[in-house]
Structure 1
Amino acid sequence: MSRMLYSVTMSLDGFIAGPGGDMSWLTPYLGPDPVVDGLIGEIGALLVGNRTFRGDDPHRGTDKEEKPFGGDWTGPQFILTHHIPDTPVPGVTFVGDLDGGVAAAKAAAGGKYVNILGADVARQCLAAGVLDEILVFVAPVMLGDGVRLFDHPGGTHVRLEHVDVARSPHATSVWFRVIG
């Protein structure tokens, strides 16, 4: 059975994108990472938020632009959006609701991870009780403002179980299992 994983790189002060969704801050922290390299082979499908899909790309201006994991991963992508475009995008399926997106991505993942990209989609999956694991790569930088890793006004207490921690030249990764 495929598991739902939210993997993301975050600044030390808790932001996954800068103001306005700026991802250029991430570029210096991209590079070889054994955790990422191992994860890529375990991903069967992506469930991506619309803002993430249409947003800024830390690989902008390179041959890796608009490719998941800089082109190191290929496979089915499911974009959660209320505005499905008229023109198809190769390798991409647009879905209008979370339940349908999760079901389609899990079916396509073939027992591997469904990797979630986008803070809002991850928050929705957590609220729906379908998020299984969280992998955060903490980059050695503070942004001061932007899109938070997890933002739920009024607060939500989420219990996590520690799975693993690793360090690379670019980030420290912390892996958790969602337990309630």
Structure 2
Amino acid sequence: MAKLLYSAAMSLDGFIAGPGGDMQWVAEFFGPNPEIDRLVPEIGALLVGRRTYGGDDPYRGTEAEGKAFGGAWEGPQFVLTHRPAAPKPGVTFVDDLHRGVEAAKAAAGEKYVNVLGATVARACVDAGLLDEVLVSVLPVLLGEGVRLFDRPGGPAVRLERKSATEAPLATNLWLRVVR
């Protein structure tokens, strides 16, 4: 059965997007990352938040604009929203977290369901559905923006390190949610 993996690039001070959801800051850190290169073929489906789906694209203005992982991945996407957008091939809009997770897992088969978006990741953690987290920590301090996890007052969630790897422009931390 598919596992739910939240993956994100993060500034050292804990932000995955800058103020207003700005993602342009991450573009200067694009480069070789063997951990991400190994992950991409293991992704069977995406579970995406509505703001992430319709938000700023770090590939804006390039041939990779609008493509997951800069075009390195293609497959079914499930967008969690109460505001569906215009239909697009391969994209399914769902309005319930559990139904969205079930549909994405069914589509992913034995591969990962990659969660994109801090709000969806938080909801998955709070519902006890998230299995793993992969964070590529980038050498920059953004100062403000969208946090990797923003759960004030939430209960502690214990994580166990699966691996820590270095790439030229990032340090990757792969963690498993301890249940």
Shorter-chain TM-score: which interval? over 0.9
Taking the aligned partners of 2:2 and 2:62, their CA distance within structure 1 comes to 32
Q: Cα RMSD (Å) of the superposition?
A: 0.7
Give the whole-Å Cα distance in 1 for the aligned partners of 2:58 and 2:113. Answer: 22
| Letter aligned with residue 94 of structure 2 | V
- Structure 2: gaps spanning 5 or more residues: none
Match of 1:150 in 2: 149
Structure 1 match to 2:176: 177
Secondary structure of the structure 1 residue equivalent to 2:75: coil
SS in 2 for 1:47: strand
Secondary structure of the equivalent of 1:46? strand
Residue 91 in structure 1 maps to residue 78 in structure 2: no
Q: Deviations over 1:23-46 (max 9, x none)?
A: 011001112210010000100000
Q: Distance in 2 between matches of 1:125 and 1:90?
A: 25
Distance 2:120 2:27 in 1: 23
Number of equivalent positions: 179
**TM-score, structure 2 length as denominator?**
0.98
Q: Distance in 1 between matches of 2:30 and 2:128?
A: 31
| Alpha-carbon separation, structure 1, partners of 2:149 and 2:109 | 28
- Match for residue 59 of structure 1? 59
* Structure 1 stretches of at least 4 aligned residues deviating more than 3 Å after TM superposition: none
Deviation of the 1:129 alpha carbon:
0.6
Quote the Cα distance in structure 2 between the aligned partners of 1:61 and 1:37. Answer: 23
> Unpaired runs of 5+ in structure 1?
none
Identity of aligned residues (%): 64
Could you tell me how far apart the structure 1 residues matched to 2:28 and 2:160 are? 30
Q: CA deviation at 1:156?
A: 2.8
Deviation at 1:155, TM superposition (A): 3.7
CA–CA distance in structure 2, aligned partners of residues 51 and 97 of structure 1: 16
Distance across 1 between alignment mates of 2:13 and 2:53: 24
User: d(CA) in 1 for partners of 2:33 and 2:19?
Assistant: 26
> Counterpart in 1 of 2:166?
167
Q: For residues 82-125 of structure 1, what are the alpha-carbon distances to aligned partners after superposition, in whole Å with 9 as ceiling and x for unaligned?
A: 1123x311110110110110000000001100000000000000
The answer to whether 1:46 aligns with 2:46 is: yes
* Matched AA of 2:23: M
Shift of 1:153: 1.8
Q: Residue in 2 aligned with 1:116?
A: 115
- Cα distance in 1 for partners of 2:139, 2:145 equals 16
The one-letter amino acid of 1:45's match is A
TM-score, normalised with respect to structure 1:
0.98
**1:134 deviation in Å?**
0.4
CA distance in 2, matches of 1:108, 1:77: 9
SS in 2 for 1:164: strand
Secondary structure, aligned partner of 2:135: strand
